[in-house]
Amino acid sequence: MKKLVRDMFIIAIMKSIPDFKRQPLMLMVLGLISAIPLFFIAIFSQGMIGQGLIGTMISMVAFIGIAAGIQDITWDRYVKIREMIVAMPVHPLSYALGIAIAPLIISLPGIVFFAIIAFLLGVLTFSSIGWLVSALTLCWASMSGLGFLISTYMRKSSPYTLSNLSTLLGIGLIFLPPVYYPEEMLGSYSWISLLFPTSNSAGLIRVYSGLSTMDWGNLALRWILLIAVTAVSIILTVAKAKWRED
């Protein structure tokens, strides 16, 4: 167990710190892309700044989650670093978790930055911090799980195809559903928000930060759905993924 955790952190550091040291602009790019809607919200609808900040944080963890699951795994396979790791005394779980955590390390300063702004603007309170972290973690986990699922079932696709797919999915799951805007704006279609881990998490954070209200049944359903998406994608991935080929 100790080695499993140690290896997980080594892989997470190995897959993040060199990139972070040599390409610090990555963090700016990730933060700025996620903050583009916030920029327009700040100009055209200042009353929605809180919604925008929540969307920005969700966007950051969702983008990195899906990118880790699809792009990092695929590139490792492409450059054959994965083959080298398979032949090492490293557990596949350490590898998968390490890969998933790595981009979280890179994006953490950005998430913290937007969280501080949210605190300063009174969108978040100290009592809601636990809920914020839980919802963001589940959003990241479910998006990573979806990414792993896609890269496992499409493992013969080229890394370029999968990179593009990862970007498209990221955009589709972050900018279209109610992540930056309240689901009430969808009227009778507000149930759509339940379908995506991104909008689901955003809805939860809005409730815990007092931007919207929800009955406890609805709240529980959202948590259950988030956990279920994560669990199902991990189960399906584990069923298909092969550390060693046959």
Residue 140 structure tokens? 């990241």
Nearer to other proteins, 95 or 180 (CB): 95
Nearer to other proteins, 7 or 183 (CB): 7
Angle at the Cα of 144 from the Cα atoms of 155 and 116, rounded to 5 degrees: 150
- What are the DSSP calls for 108-146, one per residue? HHHHHHHHHHHHHTTSS-GGGHHHHHHHHHHHHHHHHHH
Residue 25 sits in the site that holds other proteins (CB under 8 A): no
Site size for other proteins (CB under 8 A):
25
**Whether 233 contacts 145, CB under 8 Å:** yes
Residue 238 sits in the site that holds other proteins (CB under 8 A): no
Q: C-alpha dihedral over 152, 153, 155, 161, to 10 degrees?
A: -110
Q: How far is the CB of 22 from other proteins (least distance, A)?
A: 5
Residue 29 sits in the site that holds other proteins (CB under 8 A): no
Residue 1 sits in the site that holds other proteins (CB under 8 A): no
Residue 7 sits in the site that holds other proteins (CB under 8 A): yes
242: which DSSP letter? -
212: which DSSP letter? S
Residue 10 sits in the site that holds other proteins (CB under 8 A): yes
- Each residue 171-190 as x (binds other proteins by CB under 8 A) or -, in order, gives --------------------
Residue 158 sits in the site that holds other proteins (CB under 8 A): no
From 77-85, 113-121, 187-195, 196-204, give the range in contact with other proteins by CB under 8 A: 77-85
CA–CA distance, 121 with 123 (Å, rounded to integer): 6
Q: How far is the CB of 156 from other proteins (least distance, A)?
A: 10
Max Cα–Cα distance, the chain, nearest Å: 57
> Which of residues 35, 64, 85, 100 is near other proteins by CB under 8 A?
85
> Which of residues 5, 32, 79, 220 is near other proteins by CB under 8 A?
79
Q: How far is the CB of 102 from other proteins (least distance, A)?
A: 12
Which among 105, 100, 114 is positioned nearest to 21, based on CA atoms?
Answer: 105
Residue 47 sits in the site that holds other proteins (CB under 8 A): no
Nearer to other proteins, 81 or 228 (CB): 81
Amino acid in position 245 = E
CA–CA distance, 202 with 129 (Å, rounded to integer): 14
Residue 5 sits in the site that holds other proteins (CB under 8 A): no
* CA-to-CA dists, residue 158 to 96, 117, 197, 225, angstroms: 20, 40, 26, 31
**Which residues here bind other proteins, judged by CB under 8 A?**
3, 7, 10-11, 13-14, 18-19, 22-23, 78-81, 83-90, 244-246
